[in-house]
Structure 1
Amino acid sequence: MKRVLISVMTLTMMFGIMSGKVQSVQAAATSFQVSVTSSKVTINVKGYKTSGTIYGYDANSYAKKDSLKGISKDLTNTGSFKVGSYTKGKSQTYSFDRYTKEGKDLLYSKYYLLSSSGKIIKGPVYATKITSVKKKIGFTQNTKKGLYNENSTNMSYAKDLGVSSITVNLDLASLMYVNSHPEGSIAFKSQGKTYYFDASMVANYDAMISTASKKSMNVIAIIAAWKTSDTNRFSSSLRYKSSVGSPLLGTNTSNDIGRDEYIAMMEFLANRYSKSKSKGLINTYVISNEIDFTPYFYNCKSLNTFMAEYERSLRLANLAVKKYAGDANVAVPFTHYWNGDENKLGKENSGYSLKPYQMLNWLAKTTNAQGAYDWAIAPHIYSSLNTKSNFLKDDSKRGWVNGNYKTSKQLTFTNVEILQKYLSTSALKYNGKIRFVYLTESGVSSSSNSTKAKNEQAASLAYVYLKIANLSCIKSFNYYRLQDHEAESKHHLSIGLLTTAGKKKPAYTVYKNIDTYNMRTTANKYLKYLSFYKNGKTYYSVANGKIKSYQTPMSVFSGYKWSFSFRNALKSSLKKNDPGMIYNVKASKKTKTAMTISYRKAVAATGYRIKVNGKTKVTTKKTSARITGLKSKKSYKITVQAYKTVKGKKHYGFTTSVTLKTK
């Protein structure tokens, strides 16, 4: 279709002048797309049946007839600047400078197509195609296994556990100076203005983040403004007015000053932590904390109002992050009160509570209409009562959890698979792809810390990880927490892998080995400590013969088709040279002193090693071997393990053991 240049326009704005070009062509389907390169903003519009005018708006400014404006009072039908006129039915392209003379970055602007009467034909629409300073900063994870990093001592344990990601807390409340800039503070320019950041705090973050990056661990940063001794430093423009107490302050971007201060903080972090391993890299930014407890951000009972406020902060954070790193993303945190009434179930929140299921539906619908982006989710998943060590038994009977994402009151480890089903729906996908899930605060308690409770924690953690490993939507499971907290343990919330005294629990060993070839032998020691009620009715346990392996409790609730494999939990480095699983080990041609061991061929095996009572007896390339030198009427532990030879090195896989007896 032929394109015809129809005009060259000059954009005059209250903050500067830019030149722009418009192209026009007939079109059928409607679309409105905003792209941003290092120097230009380009808007492509086509197919709308009404003529109108395209205006650029600040993120906290809205067309008068826009109902989703949060608490913003900035309403206008002319925006911050006029982009150009649109002729109905045409395909037109508008291009103009990204930065104004004052240094304002129009990456953060949104755009409306309005009729002459102010009716919204389309919009608001934000930029979705962004040329980032770097395309990729994230590491390819060797495992989904991660750790919540509370302090620098955790890193030695993180290395020992073999994790691929860590979670850190970054406090906005004391990060930036507002009314002063002490000597030695770090200057950073954003939106044409200079802001100053606390050098000592940044140095602490640098050390923590760079240590992880140097070990090729991805860093997930929780971005929130906590009430601390330095809270007075936090800008009044960024604070929401609320009479309800909360340990957190929200980030109010409904006004110009708060908006620009928030952009400055996000740009400072995104710029600093996107440069190199030595400087430290952040790949995912979790915006705020447990937002369904609305006082943690902005105490509000209206879903539309709250979500408009939160999404503005989420969107601006995403734009800031994408400005510097194309593969970095933002994530939405919430509690396990999925679609239930928290005021009836938990009564943990002193203010208004919203339902995460409804919040995510709102977020998907709205962001897809206003410019889709790859926000992820970061739910805090525990059990219905997070003090339970054998939580499956309690969850499956309590009635707050089921296998239907539309009706389940809670989202726990017992029914976490509903996330896979939910995020697989077309309405929730981002550009046809399933959204990522980051478990940044999730763990299993050892309750009273009795020997039995510790063993139940170990069994439950093995179950949890094997389940997570078989759900493709979950990218990281950053276990919370490394060590028991004394105040929490007094109330039987003993989630640590270590006791308060620093002693390793059985769960530590399970977590260390759960993505290695030792996973089954390590985890199977604790399988007998699991039990549950199938669909809330039939009791399952190892003792009554209904639990055969960790695969059995994957389906506490019916309705999800599992494609379960222990291999899915293996580290990627092991999968690469994995020889395959050993199945159907059995004996034939038994005598008093010998037997023939046979087994099914492993898919990629070069050969097999057979051990008798822990000692290697035979190495063979065949799927059977004669074992001699045995004693009459004696039981032997026969272990078969496949290996794959790569460049002269043998890579051994899973072991399969059976007990067999001679004649």
Structure 2
Amino acid sequence: MRHLLLALLLAQTVCAQNTDPFPTPPNQKGLQVQMVDDALALGIHHAGINVNLTALFDAKSKAESNEFVFNQGYLASLDRQIKPLSDKGVLVYLILIAYPSKNPAIDAVVLHPGHRQDYKFSVGAVNTTNGFLDAVMNLLAERWSGAHPENGRVWGWIVGNEVNSHFLWNNMGLVPLETAASEYEKAYRIMHTAIRRHSQNARTYLSSDHHWSSSMHNVSAQEATPGRDFLDTFARLVRERGDFDWNVAWHPYPEDLGNPRAWADKTVTHADSTNKVTFKNLEVLPKHLAAPEFLFNGKQRRIILSEQGFHTLLTPDGERLQAAAYVYAWEKIQTLPTVDAFIYHRHVDHAKEGGLRLGLWRNAPNSIATPHSTKLIYELFKKAGTPEWRAAADALLPVTGMKAWNE
């Protein structure tokens, strides 16, 4: 009888897997959403939302016996962001990251055992040595698989953030490329497996910054790696351990984050040896992924641009330069068929983003990210993917000094 009950439970789990095909939205327009109503008014089809895995862990958990308790208040707050977007047909992508909690008891469970406790980092690698990651991902994947419409629906799962620069964004201590990629692959595989239990066609994505053959400057090879090398090593490890359908979330910021002139990057080339992959040479990435060793079931990996924006200079032409950079980027991705989403960052300027003003909105004086007023890019963004786009976009061409957007 016990074996029969187990078989019935397993059968129910298999039957519960959602088999809906991955949606095909009208275009790539997306946003890392701060204000849901405003995002919907802008006509987005893709939305990025951060999920802090550390905040999901409840200290009442008994990690030694895999009895995990999760923060229901935080889960409900995520529902309130996800549901109104997915109800309107917006594809929601969750960015799964583990911020250090500063609570040693919590960090010992959630963060990678090698994370540098003596070093100030932004995001830690996730612990794969206990049952927490599988438990939390099983919870999230089931909650937003479509089985519970009252919670909303998630289609994309971005595993970490800019993990090739692991000293800052995926901290597991001082490790070489092979170890950094291997530890990330372990976490990615756990997450992907949990998601597949509940959704046959949801997609998962590796996250990288814009470094390609180079890595973040002024740090050692045990702290950051070239994005291309990390991607290649990750892909090899996946093949060796059992291939599956992973995809890529790239961040093609300009070579200088403080210069919005995306068309004017001087150091990048169109060769596979280029130092960075920005919007100017974005085609390098899909070309690299077209190599036979990257294909899965004969098809190319899909690409989303999950975090990138353009700085607003405090000059008379600052807002026009920002808006022109968005047009340049939008026009470029229309030529790249494996790029599915362009998720703009940020919705509102953020006072703690190193002096960058990337938002569609200005933030209120003396606030961190309280929306104050919209910029020129706001109305342009709203027109992307509509019949009004062409005239609005072409009006900004003179700002670039080019004769045509495809130049």
* TM-score with structure 2 setting the length: 0.88
Change (3 A) 1:171 1:230: farther
Alignment partner, residue 527 of structure 1? 397
The whole-number CA distance in structure 2 between the counterparts of 1:236 and 1:230 is: 10
Task: Answer yes or no: is the 8 Å Cα contact 1:173–1:230 preserved in 2.
Answer: no
Alignment partner, residue 163 of structure 1? 44
Task: Answer yes or no: is the 8 Å Cα contact 2:98–2:111 preserved in 1.
Answer: no
Query: What per-residue deviation string (whole Å, max 9, x for no partner) do you get for residues 576-601 of structure 1?
Result: xxxxxxxxxxxxxxxxxxxxxxxxxx
Change (3 A) 1:237 1:180: closer
Change (3 A) 1:157 1:350: farther
Q: CA deviation at 1:196?
A: 1.3
- 1:50-65 matches, within 5 Å, as none
The answer to whether structure 1 residue 250 and structure 2 residue 125 are counterparts is: yes
The whole-number CA distance in structure 2 between the counterparts of 1:178 and 1:500 is: 35
* AA partner of residue 498 (structure 1): W
Query: What per-residue deviation string (whole Å, max 9, x for no partner) do you get for residues 383-404 of structure 1?
Result: 00011122322x1x2x2x1101
Alignment partner, residue 217 of structure 1? 90
- 1:194-233 matches, within 5 Å, as 194-228=67-101, 232-233=105-106
The whole-number CA distance in structure 2 between the counterparts of 1:132 and 1:359 is: 35
Count, aligned residues: 391
- 1:541-552 matches, within 5 Å, as 541=401, 547-552=402-407
Query: What per-residue deviation string (whole Å, max 9, x for no partner) do you get for residues 291-338 of structure 1?
Result: 111223213332222211110110111000000001112211111111
Change (3 A) 1:373 1:522: same
Alignment partner, residue 333 of structure 2? 468
- 1:107-506 matches, within 5 Å, as 133-136=17-20, 138-149=22-33, 151=34, 154-180=35-61, 194-228=67-101, 232-236=105-109, 238-241=111-114, 242=116, 243-253=118-128, 255=129, 258=130, 260-274=131-145, 275-295=147-167, 296-297=169-170, 298-343=172-217, 347=218, 352-393=223-264, 395=265, 397=266, 399=267, 401-405=268-272, 407-448=273-314, 450-488=315-353, 491=355, 493-501=356-364, 502-506=372-376
The whole-number CA distance in structure 1 between the counterparts of 2:384 and 2:216 is: 34
Task: Answer yes or no: is the 8 Å Cα contact 2:176–2:223 preserved in 1.
Answer: no
Q: CA deviation at 1:139?
A: 3.7
The whole-number CA distance in structure 1 between the counterparts of 2:201 and 2:351 is: 39
Change (3 A) 1:467 1:131: farther
The whole-number CA distance in structure 1 between the counterparts of 2:262 and 2:111 is: 40
Alignment partner, residue 512 of structure 1? 382
The whole-number CA distance in structure 2 between the counterparts of 1:415 and 1:252 is: 35
Task: Answer yes or no: is the 8 Å Cα contact 2:30–2:342 preserved in 1.
Answer: yes
The whole-number CA distance in structure 2 between the counterparts of 1:434 and 1:231 is: 42
RMSD of aligned residue pairs (Cα, Å): 2.8
Change (3 A) 1:237 1:478: closer
Query: What per-residue deviation string (whole Å, max 9, x for no partner) do you get for residues 33-74 of structure 1?
Result: xxxxx959xxxxxxxxxxxxxxxxxxxxxxxxxxxxxxxxxx
Query: What per-residue deviation string (whole Å, max 9, x for no partner) do you get for residues 526-552 of structure 1?
Result: 11111xxxxxxxxxx3xxxxx332122
Q: CA deviation at 1:497?
A: 1.2
Task: Answer yes or no: is the 8 Å Cα contact 1:252–1:309 preserved in 2.
Answer: no
The whole-number CA distance in structure 2 between the counterparts of 1:197 and 1:451 is: 49
Percent identical among aligned pairs is 24
Q: CA deviation at 1:249?
A: 2.2
Change (3 A) 1:328 1:132: farther
- 1:25-36 matches, within 5 Å, as none
Q: CA deviation at 1:451?
A: 3.1
Query: What per-residue deviation string (whole Å, max 9, x for no partner) do you get for residues 165-210 of structure 1?
Result: 11111111120225448xxxxxxxx9x9542111111110111111
* AA partner of residue 246 (structure 1): F
The whole-number CA distance in structure 1 between the counterparts of 2:219 and 2:322 is: 24
* AA partner of residue 27 (structure 2): T
Task: Answer yes or no: is the 8 Å Cα contact 1:220–1:284 preserved in 2.
Answer: yes
* AA partner of residue 454 (structure 1): E
Task: Answer yes or no: is the 8 Å Cα contact 2:257–2:310 preserved in 1.
Answer: yes
The whole-number CA distance in structure 1 between the counterparts of 2:120 and 2:396 is: 43
Change (3 A) 1:202 1:98: closer
Task: Answer yes or no: is the 8 Å Cα contact 2:254–2:261 preserved in 1.
Answer: no
The whole-number CA distance in structure 1 between the counterparts of 2:25 and 2:344 is: 16
SS of match in other structure, 1:314: helix
Q: Rg larger in 1 or in 2? A: 1
Normalized per residue, the structure richer in strand is 1
Task: Answer yes or no: is the 8 Å Cα contact 1:170–1:221 preserved in 2.
Answer: yes
- 1:591-610 matches, within 5 Å, as none
Q: CA deviation at 1:359?
A: 1.3
Task: Answer yes or no: is the 8 Å Cα contact 2:380–2:393 preserved in 1.
Answer: yes
The whole-number CA distance in structure 2 between the counterparts of 1:293 and 1:330 is: 19
Query: What per-residue deviation string (whole Å, max 9, x for no partner) do you get for residues 471-516 of structure 1?
Result: 1111111100011123448x3x221112224322221121111211
The whole-number CA distance in structure 1 between the counterparts of 2:157 and 2:110 is: 22
Structure 2 gap ranges (5+): 365-371
SS of match in other structure, 1:477: strand
Task: Answer yes or no: is the 8 Å Cα contact 2:185–2:237 preserved in 1.
Answer: no
Considering Cα pairs closer than 8 Å and 6+ residues apart, tell me whether 1 or 2 has the greater RCO: 2
The whole-number CA distance in structure 1 between the counterparts of 2:222 and 2:121 is: 9
The whole-number CA distance in structure 2 between the counterparts of 1:487 and 1:175 is: 24
* TM-score with structure 1 setting the length: 0.55
The whole-number CA distance in structure 2 between the counterparts of 1:143 and 1:194 is: 43
Q: CA deviation at 1:286?
A: 1.1
Change (3 A) 1:437 1:231: farther
Query: What per-residue deviation string (whole Å, max 9, x for no partner) do you get for residues 217-269 of structure 1?
Result: 1111111111246674344374323244312222121x3xx2x1110011010
SS of match in other structure, 1:499: strand
